[in-house]
Structure 1
Amino acid sequence: MPATMTATAPLARIFSLLGVLACALFLGACAVGPDYVRPAMDLPVVYKEQGPWKIATPGRIDSRQRWWEAYQDAVLNDLIDQANRANQNIRFAEAQYRQAQAAAAIAHAGLWPEVSGNASRARSSNGAENTYAAGLNASWEVDIWGRVRRLAEAGDAGSEAGAASLAAARLSIQAALAQNYLQLRVTDLQKDLYARTVADYTRSLQLIRHQYDAGVALRSDVAQAETQLRSAQAQWIDLDATRTQLEHAIAILIGKAPAAFTLAAQTTLQASMPSIPAGVPSDLLERRPDIANAERLAAAANANIGVARAAWFPALTLSAAGGYSGSAFSQLFDTPGRVWSLGSALAALLFDGGARHARNDQARAAFDAAVATYKQTVLSGLQEVEDNLSTLRVLAQESQVQDQAVKAAQLSERLAMSQYQAGTSTYLSVLTTQAASLANQRGAVQLLGRQLLASVSLIKAVGGGWHASDMNQAAANH
C-alpha cells in the first residue's frame, strides 16, 4: 500500500486498493491437491446377452420421451404423473438436493469478502457529550493455496451428486409403480381366466349331474366335477389378496392412503411391450443416475484432498475498516470525522500433534472408498442390464413354446370332453385335460407378466432415458 496515503483518502479508494491486491494474489495462486480425473474402467464393447433377437412391439424407449409412455397405457401414464408430484420419497430426495445446492452456495460464498456494518451512539460519564459512529468492516481470506476453491469444487460436485440422486429416486419410484401396475393388470387377466374357467366348470358340473340323474354317470364323477369347480373358485378368490396388496402399494407410491384409492379392473391388457435399445456398456456411465451420483461423490472426495492439503500452508487474511465518528449526528459524515484502517494477518499452524497428517490420510481414504463405490456401481449396473437382457431373451423363447402348449392343451380338453360324452373315456380324463389346460393358460398369463416386469427392469437398468447432462435440471419438474 503506498506510503503517501493520507487520512483524507476516500473510503472507496481503500477498498479498491484492497481488491486489487487480493485479485493479484488470487490470480497468481495455485490450488493444491490433485485435479480430478474420472476413475478409468475397462468396459466391454458390447453386452454378452445383446443378440439378434428383438421384441416386435409398437413402442420404443428413447431419451426424447417419458419412458413409461412407450407402454401405451393412459392409466399408467396418469399414475406416474401423480407419483412424480406426490410421492414422499421423491419429495425427500428433492429436499436433500436443495440441501446440497445450499451447501455448494455456502462454499462459493467463501470466495468473496465478508462485509459488515455498524452504528453506535455513546454518552460520556458526565453526560455532557454524545459520540456517534458509523462504519464498514471487510475481511477476506485470500485463497492462495486453493483451499476455498477446493471447497467450492467439492460443493459443486456434491450438488451434482444430489441432482443425480434425485433422478435415481424418481426412476426407482416410477419403475416400482410401473411394475406394480403391470402386475396388477396381469392379475386382472388371471382373474378373468378363472372367471371363465369357473363358468365352464359350472356347466360341466350341471351336465354331469344331469347324466347322474339319468343313470349314465357315476356319483364319483359328480364329486370330482364339484371338487374341480370348488378348487378353481378358491384360486379365483385367492387372487383378490394379490390384487388388493398391489392396489395398496400403488396408492402409497402416488402419495395416497389405500382407503382413498381404487383401480377398476380390466379384462384385457391395455399396455404393450416396448422395444428397449440397451446401447453399449459405456453408455451406462452417462445414462444411469446412480452411476453419475457415485462418480460425482468421487469428484467431491478428490476435492477434499486439496482442502486437507491446504492446511499445511499459511492462511492470509486481509481486512479493512472505514467510517465516520463525531460528537454530533449532523456532523457525523463530515470529512474531519473520517476514520479508516487496513490490515493483514498471516497465520500458520506450527504443531498439531499429527492432526494434519491424519486428515490428509482420511481424505485420501475417503477418495479411494468413493472410487471403489463408483466402480462397483458400474459393475452392478452392467450386471442388471445383462440379467434383464438374458431374462427377456429366455422369456421370449419360452413364450413361443408356451403358446403352443396352450393350444395343444385346449385341443386335448375338447377331445376328452367329446370322448366322454360319446362314452369312450372316463371323466377322469376330462378332469386331467381341463386341469392341464387351465395350468397352461395361467402359465401363459404369468409369463406375460414376467416379460412386462423384466422390460421395466431393463428400462431402469439402462437409465430410463436419463442423461448425465440433466443433472443440473433434475429438480425442474417438481
Structure 2
Amino acid sequence: MPSPALRDTRMRPCRRARALCLSTLLLTLPIMTGCLSTPIAEQTPPLPAQWRNALDATPAAAPDPRGWWGAFGDPRLDRLVDEAASANLDIQQARLRLRAARTLYAHAGDALRPELHARTSNPVDPDASASFFVAGLDAVWELGLFGRGEALHRQAQGEVDAADADLRDARITMVAEVTRNWIELRDALEQQRLASAIADARREQLRLQQVRIDLRLAPRDSLEPLRAAVAQAEAGLSDPRQRIVAAEQALAVLLGRAEPDPDWSGGEPRPVLAMRAIERAPADLLRTRPDVAHAQALVLRAAAEAGLARADRYPRVALGGSIQWSANITAHRRTETEGIGVFGPIIDIPLFDWGLRRARASAKGDELQAATYAYRKAVLTGVAEVETALGALEQQRLREQSDRDAWRALARAADGEAARKRLGLASEIDVNARRIERDQAALELNAAATQRAMAYIAVYKALGAAPGEAPGEDADAHRAAVASERSRP
C-alpha cells in the first residue's frame, strides 16, 4: 500500500489542475454571462403629436381619465363603478393572476442558485452477496452563462407584465360596461315612458275617432288605420322592456350579484353628458392601453425564449459536490461503513444533434421579430381606434344637435296646437297628433343622446382609462419583489 506522503504527491497535479480549471471558470464567468444577451429591437412606430378628430372648442376641461364617467354627473353611476371596482369577478381573477406572476418573479433566478438534495438508496450486488445502504448530500449550482440567467428573468418579467396588462384590461372593460349598461338602462326607461305616452295618445285618437263616427262625422273605415297605429304603439313597448331586463342583469353580473337592485329602475332619467375635450396625447397609449402593454410583454417573453434557445447551443456549466456514506452488509453479516466526498465542475457540451438546437434558436429569433411586429401593429391599431372613436363622437354630437332642433320645433308646434285648442280653434285630435309627433321626435333625440354617450364611452375605452388605474399597479410590491430577488445570494 503506498504511503500517505506518496499518495499526497500523486494527487498534487490533480488538485492543481482542478484549481486552474475553477480559476479559469470564475474569471470567464462575467464574460460568458453577459456576452450573449438577446437584444430587443425598438419597433414603436412614429406617433402623431395630437389627435386629428379631437374636439377643438369645448366649454369644460377634459375629465380625469381615472374618473371620466363623472362627465355624466350621475352619483348613482359613481357608486356603481366604485362597487364594481371591488366586487367584479373578472377583476378579482386578474388580480390573483398578477399576484401569482409576481410571486414567481421573486423566484425567477432560483434555478441558477445552489441546490442541495438529500437522498438514500439500498442497492444489492448482482450476486446477492452483499447489500448497501447509501445516504448522501448532493449540491449543484448551475451558472447562468451565455445569457441564460437574463433570459429567465425576462421570461418571469414578461409574465408579470402580461398579467398586469390583463388586470388593467379587466378594469377598463368593467368601468366601460358598467357605464354602458347604466346608460342603456336609463335610455330604455325613458324610451318606455315616451312609448307609453305615444300609445296613450294613439288610444285617445282612436276614442275620439269613434266618437266622430258615432256622430256620423267620419266614415267607419277611418277607424282601421287608427287601430293599426294603436297596435304598433303597444308593440313598441316590448323593445324597451326587453332592454331594461338585459341591462339590469348585465349590471348585476358586473357587480357580482345574483339579482339586480330594484332601485335601479327608479330615480332620474338618463343623465346628460357634458361636452368635454380629449386632451391626452397619442403617446399615452403606450402606457395606458392594455393590448399595447400585453404585446410588449409578449415581446419580452419571446426575447426570453430566444435567449434560452440560444443558450442551449452552448455548454451548460455547473459546480457540483456530494458527500456519501455507505453501509456495506455482506452475506456473512459483516458491516462496514465508509464515506467519501467530491467537488468539481459539471460541464454538458452539446456536440451533435442534427442541427436541432440551431433550428430552435433560429425559430425563436423569428418569433421574436414577429412579436415586435405584433407590438407595432397594436400601437397603430390603438391610434386608429381612438381616432375612429373621436370621429364617431363628433358625428353623434352633430346628430344629437339636429335631433334636438327638430324636437324643439315640434314641441313648439305641440304647445301652439294646445293653445289654439284652448281658444277653440283646434280639436283634441289635432292636439294629440302634434303630441305624438313631439314624443316621436323625443324618442329620436333620446336615441341620439344615447349613441353619443356610447361613443364617449368608446373613446375612453380606446384610450385605456379606468378607475384607479395606473401602469404597474401595486408597483411598490413589485419593486420589493425585485429588490428581494437581487439581494438574494
Offset at residue 402 of structure 1 (A): 1.6
Work out whether residues 31 and 150 of structure 1, in 8 Å CA contact, stay in contact via their aligned partners in 2: no
Write the mapping of 1:21-170 to structure 2, written as runs, cut at 5 A.
Answer: 26-29=29-32, 30-54=34-58, 56=60, 60-62=63-65, 65-94=66-95, 96-98=97-99, 100-101=101-102, 104-105=105-106, 107-118=108-119, 136-170=137-171
Work out whether residues 409 and 436 of structure 1, in 8 Å CA contact, stay in contact via their aligned partners in 2: yes
Distance in structure 2 (CA, Å) of the matches to 1:253 and 1:20: 62
Letter of the structure 2 residue corresponding to residue 360 of structure 1: A
Distance in structure 2 (CA, Å) of the matches to 1:461 and 1:473: 27
Work out whether residues 181 and 251 of structure 2, in 8 Å CA contact, stay in contact via their aligned partners in 1: yes
Determine the structure 1 residue equivalent to 2:473: 470
Distance in structure 2 (CA, Å) of the matches to 1:159 and 1:21: 37
Change (3 A) 1:56 1:209: farther
Q: Secondary structure at the match of 2:109?
A: helix
Change (3 A) 1:237 1:143: closer
The yes-or-no answer on 1:174 pairing with 2:175 is: yes
After TM superposition, the structure 1 stretch with the greater mean CA deviation from structure 2, 73-82 or 359-368, is: 73-82
Determine the structure 1 residue equivalent to 2:273: 273
Distance in structure 1 (CA, Å) of the matches to 2:94 and 2:142: 34
Write the mapping of 1:43-442 to structure 2, written as runs, cut at 5 A.
Answer: 43-54=47-58, 56=60, 60-62=63-65, 65-94=66-95, 96-98=97-99, 100-101=101-102, 104-105=105-106, 107-118=108-119, 136-210=137-211, 212-213=213-214, 219=220, 223-257=224-258, 262=262, 264-266=264-266, 268-269=268-269, 271-273=271-273, 275=276, 277-322=278-323, 339-415=340-416, 433-442=434-443
Q: Provide, for residues 216-269 of structure 1, a one-character-per-residue CA deviation record: whole Å limited to 9, x for no partner.
A: 566566555554344323212332112212222223333344x56655323633
Work out whether residues 135 and 323 of structure 1, in 8 Å CA contact, stay in contact via their aligned partners in 2: yes
Offset at residue 354 of structure 1 (A): 1.4
Q: Secondary structure at the match of 1:460?
A: helix
Work out whether residues 299 and 368 of structure 2, in 8 Å CA contact, stay in contact via their aligned partners in 1: yes
Distance in structure 1 (CA, Å) of the matches to 2:419 and 2:215: 19
Q: Secondary structure at the match of 1:468?
A: coil
Distance in structure 2 (CA, Å) of the matches to 1:24 and 1:196: 88
Normalised by the size of structure 2, how large is the TM-score? 0.77
Q: Secondary structure at the match of 1:451?
A: helix
Distance in structure 2 (CA, Å) of the matches to 1:420 and 1:222: 23
Offset at residue 55 of structure 1 (A): 6.5
**What is the aligned-residue RMSD (CA, Å)?**
4.2
Offset at residue 112 of structure 1 (A): 0.9
Change (3 A) 1:396 1:20: farther
Work out whether residues 152 and 304 of structure 2, in 8 Å CA contact, stay in contact via their aligned partners in 1: yes
Offset at residue 302 of structure 1 (A): 1.9
Distance in structure 2 (CA, Å) of the matches to 1:367 and 1:359: 12
Percent of pairs identical after alignment? 24
Q: Provide, for residues 265-320 of structure 1, a one-character-per-residue CA deviation record: whole Å limited to 9, x for no partner.
A: 23633645263634111111111121111112112212322222212221111102
Distance in structure 2 (CA, Å) of the matches to 1:123 and 1:305: 46
Change (3 A) 1:119 1:303: closer
Which runs of 5 or more residues in structure 1 are unaligned? 5-17, 125-129, 328-335
Offset at residue 391 of structure 1 (A): 1.5
Offset at residue 435 of structure 1 (A): 4.5
Q: Secondary structure at the match of 1:341?
A: strand
After TM superposition, the structure 1 stretch with the greater mean CA deviation from structure 2, 101-110 or 434-443, is: 101-110
Work out whether residues 188 and 267 of structure 1, in 8 Å CA contact, stay in contact via their aligned partners in 2: no
Work out whether residues 56 and 277 of structure 2, in 8 Å CA contact, stay in contact via their aligned partners in 1: no
Distance in structure 1 (CA, Å) of the matches to 2:249 and 2:341: 70
